[in-house]
Amino acid sequence: MKRRLLFLLIAALGAGLISCAASNDETVADHPAAASQAGDPVALDHGASAGADNNGGGKVCEPVAPPALPEPDIADPSVVTVDEDLFFQVDGQRLFPIGFYWAPEDLAGLQAYKEEGFNVALAGDGCCEGDELQAQLDILDNAQQAGVFIILRVWRPMDQVLTRPEEELAAELAARDVYGSLFGWYTFDEPGMDGTDKTETARAHEVLTTNDPDHLDLLVDTPFNDFSMYMDDCSVFGIDPYPSDWMPLSYVKASLLEALDAANGEKPVIGVLQGFSWDAYNGIDYDEYRPNERELRNMAWQYIVLGARGLLPWNYSADYAIRAQPEIWADFLETVGEINELAGVILTKDVTLDLAPEADFPTMFDYAVKQEDTASWILTVSTNERPMKVGLDLSALGTGLCIVDYTTGEVFVQDENGRIEVNYDSLQARVLEVLE
DSSP category for residue 249: T
Longest dimension (CA), the chain: 74
What's the sign of the alpha-carbon dihedral 418, 428, 242, 216?
Answer: negative
SS3 call for 276:
strand
Residue-level pLDDT at 246: 73
Q: Letter for the amino acid at 83?
A: D
Neighbour-count burial of 142, counting CB atoms closer than 10 A to its CB (0-12 exposed, 13-18 middle, 19+ buried): buried
- Number of neighbours of residue 108 by Cβ within 10 angstroms: 10
Please write down the long-range contacts of 47-53, taking CB distance under 8 Å and 24 or more positions apart.
47/398, 47/400, 47/436, 48/398, 48/399, 48/400, 49/400, 49/436, 50/400, 50/401, 50/402, 50/435, 50/436, 51/400, 51/402, 52/402, 52/403, 52/404, 52/411, 52/413, 53/411
Indicate the SS3 state at residue 304. helix
List the chain residues with pLDDT less than 70.
Answer: 1-59, 124-131, 245
Q: Could you tell me the CA-to-CA distances from 58 to 47, 48, 331, 406 in Å, in that order?
A: 14, 12, 35, 20
User: DSSP letters of 153-219?
Assistant: E--SSTTHHHHS-HHHHHHHHHHHTTSTTEEEEEEEESHHHHT--HHHHHHHHHHHHHH-TTSEEEE
Global pTM value: 0.87
In terms of Cα–Cα distance, which of 115, 193, 113 is closest to 150? 113
* CA–CA distance, 198 with 410 (Å, rounded to integer): 51
CB contact at 8 A, 366 and 302: yes
Q: Which residues contact 2 (CB under 8 A, 6 or more apart)?
A: 189, 190, 240, 242, 272, 314
Q: What is the pLDDT of residues 51-84, one digit of tens each?
A: 334 444 456 899 999 999 999 989 889 999 999 9
- List phi, psi (to 5°) of 16: -65, -40
Q: How far is CA 363 from CA 165, 183, 359, 419, in A?
A: 52, 36, 9, 19
Query: Using one digit for the tens of pLDDT, what is the confidence trace for 244-262?
Result: 767 889 999 999 999 999 9
Residues 6+ apart with CB under 8 A from 351: 38, 39, 40, 41, 42, 369, 370, 371, 376
Radius of gyration of the chain (CA): 22
The pLDDT of residue 243: 87
Give the pLDDT confidence score for residue 171 in this predicted structure. Answer: 96
Q: How far apart are CA 204 and CA 220, in angstroms?
A: 14
Within 8 A by CB and 6+ apart from 70, the residues are 93
Pick the closest to residue 308 from 97, 113, 148, 149 (CA basis). 97
What is the per-residue pLDDT for 225? 84
Q: Which residues contact 110 (CB under 8 A, 6 or more apart)?
A: 103, 104, 121, 142, 143, 145, 146, 148
Dihedral sign (CA 159, 160, 166, 171):
negative
Among 139, 148, 147, 158, residue whose Cα is nearest residue 100? 148
CA 313 to chain CA mean position, Å: 9
287-327 confidence digits (pLDDT tens):
788 899 999 999 999 999 999 999 999 999 999 999 999 99
Q: Which helix (H) or strand (E) holds 392?
A: strand 388-393
Domains of the chain from N-terminus onward: 32-65+349-435 (2.60.40.1180), 73-341 (3.20.20.80)
Cα–Cα distance between 231 and 225 in angstroms, integer?
12
CB 36 within 8 A of CB 265: yes
